[in-house]
Chain A
Amino acid sequence: MISDFDVALLIGVAIVVLASWRTNRRALLWIAAAALDFIVSTAYWRSGLPYGAAAGAFCDGMVVLAANHFGRARWELGVRPFFQASVAVNISFVATQLMGIRLDQDILSIVLEAINWAFLLFLFWVSGTPDWLANVLGIPDTWRPRRVLLRARVALQQERRSESFWTT
């Protein structure tokens, strides 16, 4: 029932949860949202019902709207592009199905898996663990790539500028 890819993803999720536990507790909320999205869309897909990609797109879209509405910090709005990319991939797959173009389902799975991993990597970076690791390894914060990433992370920790469209 659970494939090797699912196990690898679960390990990745466990690492990000551990990394975010003390520094960025709200990341757990978005991991939970992503997990719910993954479980619902995968259950729909594996049940054999038609247009699983369309159901996946709908679930991903709901996460985008949730991030837009409930997100407080800027990094929480940064969650949206990952799910928007997922929606784009899913609806492109549905479009190819409707146009009669036979596309291997594995291609869709690989691309979606890559987006999931990118999302986990983003949360891992936001948690600040890479900085802690860099300190442990003795990488100086004057090193340009590290400095750029650090500044970007600090900027993303700030409060969002605009309210959700639903409240204005």
Chain B
Amino acid sequence: MDDLAALASRILGAILGAFLALVFLIPKSRRELIARGTFSVIVGFLAGPPIRVYYLHWDSDPQYRMAAASGVAMLSWFVMEAAVRILRVWMPREKETE
């Protein structure tokens, strides 16, 4: 039962983090939303627990699990946005076909 609560809090936290990031960095298309949302939720779900334990030193209460997953998901969205912007500067645009 505890495992289920931990899993649910991680998933919910990751989704809420992606939602909060969406509020600040609004994508241009639905496709972009799906790509970034999926990436953020996965990163929040997977990287939330190790960051909570090793860096934040928080307890394993569901609220802390959720907050860690949420923070990581939000941060990953911002990092992805920054990476995309840097890549757009460095990579040449595709030539438009006539």
| Chain A bound to chain B | yes
Q: Which residues of A contact B (CB under 8 A)?
A: 51, 57-58, 60-61, 64-65, 68, 83-84, 87-88, 91, 94-95, 98, 162, 165-168
Contact of A87 with B20 at beta-carbon distance under 8 Å, contacts A98-B63, A98-B64, A98-B67 already known: yes
Which of B25-33, B41-49, B77-85 contacts the other chain? B25-33
Nearest B residue to A68, CB-CB: B26
Give A84 to B22 CA distance when docked, in angstroms.
11
Cross-chain contact B24 with A84 (CB below 8 angstroms) = yes
B61, chain A: closest CB distance, angstroms:
10
Task: Note all chain B residues with C-beta closer than 8 A to A94.
Answer: 67
A95 to B58, CA, bound (A): 12
Chain B contacts to A: CB under 8 angstroms:
16, 19-20, 22-24, 26-30, 32-33, 58, 63-64, 67, 71
- In the assembled complex, how far is the CB of residue A18 from the closest CB belonging to chain B, in whole angstroms? 31
| Complex-state Cα separation, A30 to B29, whole angstroms | 24
Residue from the set B26, B27, B29 with the largest chain A CB neighbour count within 10 Å? B26
Collect the chain B residues with CB atoms within 8 Å of residue A87's CB. Answer: 20, 23-24
Chain B: CB-nearest residue to A166:
B30
Residue of B nearest to A50 (CB): B63
Interface of chain A, main secondary structure: helix
Task: Pick the contact of A91: B20, B27, B33 (CB < 8 A).
Answer: B20
Which residues in A have their C-beta under 8 angstroms from that of B20?
A: 57, 61, 87, 91
User: Quick check: A168 and B24 within 8 Å, CB to CB?
Assistant: no
Q: Are A65 and B32 in contact (CB under 8 A)?
A: no
CB < 8 Å neighbour of A165 from B26, B58, B63: B26
Which of A61, A64, A91, A162 is the one whose CB lies under 8 Å from B28? A162
User: Which residues from B are CB-within-8-Å of A83?
Assistant: 23
Of A57, A65, A88, A95, which contacts B22 at CB under 8 A? A65
Kindly list 16 other residue pairs between chains A and B, CB separation below 8 angstroms, not including A58-B19, A65-B26, A165-B26.
A51-B63, A57-B20, A65-B23, A68-B26, A87-B20, A87-B24, A94-B67, A95-B67, A98-B58, A98-B63, A98-B67, A165-B27, A165-B28, A165-B29, A166-B33, A168-B30
Could you tell me the distance between the alpha carbons of A89 and B19 in the complex, rounded to whole angstroms? 16
Q: Given the complex, which residues of B lie within 8 Å of A168, measured CB to CB?
A: 28-30
CA distance A117 to B30 in the complex (A): 33
A140 to B74, CA, bound (A): 48
CB<8 Å pairs between A and B, sample of 19 = A57-B20, A58-B16, A58-B19, A61-B22, A64-B23, A65-B22, A65-B23, A65-B26, A83-B23, A84-B23, A87-B20, A87-B24, A95-B71, A98-B67, A162-B28, A165-B26, A166-B30, A166-B33, A167-B30
